[in-house]
Chain A
Amino acid sequence: MDNNFELAVNWALQQQQYEIEEGVFIPVSKEMPFTVVDKVRKYFNINNIEYSSFSFDDLIPYLPN
């Protein structure tokens, strides 16, 4: 799972934008943790990776400095 988290975080941070409301986009950044978590979750869903509940705090070890 650690490897999946690392891949998912890297993928999430490569995504340019997060649609916070229909037609309203904000950048994906660790300053807005939900944007990263939601993208990580999207990565898991796209790649059919099973996962249990997690939070931004679980992703901190995989974030670039």
Chain B
Amino acid sequence: MAAGQQYAKNLNTDQSFVKTTAIYDSSLDEWLILSANVVKTEGGVFIYQKGTDDGKAKVSAELIGSTLTDSNALSVKIQQDRKVIANAVAFTDTSPKTYDLITHGLLTEEQIRRIKDFKISINNTHDQPATIAVYTAFRNISTTVAATGGKIYAETGIVAATSGRLILQSAAVGTGADATFKTIPALRGVHSNIIIVVSFAIAPTTGSITMGVEMNG
């Protein structure tokens, strides 16, 4: 006897001849046997499960929850980007030059604050080593002026001449890493801007410097 068929007092077993309980369906005004393919909901409603001819259960599902609004989507969006903030700049004197993610990377401070980690890559082909200083914006005063920011890294002549390369990142490098990596833990954190100041002790006569910032939020 299949689930849903009329209950017979002497025949209350299911198709596998397993004794089952029965329920009274007032809408049908009859007793129905309750077998494994009838389930009871939290609200006390009995649901008859359907099957398909190939023996699989037929399942219907309802999605619940709220609609994701644009503002929600923005807050959960994972940001990642790469900006070139110094595009092959040929220095001809010793005066420091400032590059930052707002002025040269064309990001807003709100966008920058959403980013959790920064990696700065510097490629120097000048005939002189480059001195690098990195600042985080002191938001209460200015977001683009290095002199009003907080210095998080500085090293004289750190990027070698001719084909010098340097990566500044928050993660530590492992055994055997070369001198092209420097770890600045503060690059992982909240910033309203990252400002980089480049200078040379002796005016370069050849070459250029390129700086890019990779970001992940």
Binding site for B on A (CB under 8 A): 20-21, 33-34, 36-38, 40-42, 45, 51-57
Name the interface size band of chain B.
Answer: 10 to 19
5 A-B pairs whose Cβ atoms sit less than 8 Å apart in the complex: A34-B208, A38-B90, A55-B208, A56-B208, A57-B87
A54 to B102, CA, bound (A): 20
Query: Residue on A with the closest CB to B124?
Result: A34
- The reply to whether B86 and A55 form a contact with Cβ atoms under 8 Å apart is yes
Give the chain B neighbours of A38 by CB distance below 8 A: 88, 90, 125, 206-208
Q: Which residues of B contact A33 (CB under 8 A)?
A: 87-88, 210
Number of A-B pairs whose CB atoms are under 8 Å? 52
Considering the chains assembled together, what is the distance between the CA atoms of A10 and B207 in angstroms?
18
Q: Mark B172-215, 1 if CB is under 8 A from A, else 0.
A: 00000000000000000000000000000000011110100000
Q: How far is the CA of A37 from the CA of B126 in the complex (A)?
A: 11
Whole-angstrom CA separation of A54 from B86 in the bound complex:
11
Contact B88 A53 (CB under 8 A): no
Q: Quick check: B206 and A37 within 8 Å, CB to CB?
A: no
Q: Assess whether B135 is interfacial by the CB under 8 Å rule.
A: no
A45 in contact with B205 (CB, 8 Å) = yes
Q: A34-B125, A57-B87 are in contact. Are A52 and B210 (CB under 8 A)?
A: no
B13 within 8 A of A: no
The residue of chain A having its C-beta at the shortest distance from the C-beta of B92 within the complex is: A53
The chain B residue sitting closest to A50, CB to CB, is B92
Which of B86, B89, B205, B207 has most chain A Cβ within 10 Å?
A: B89
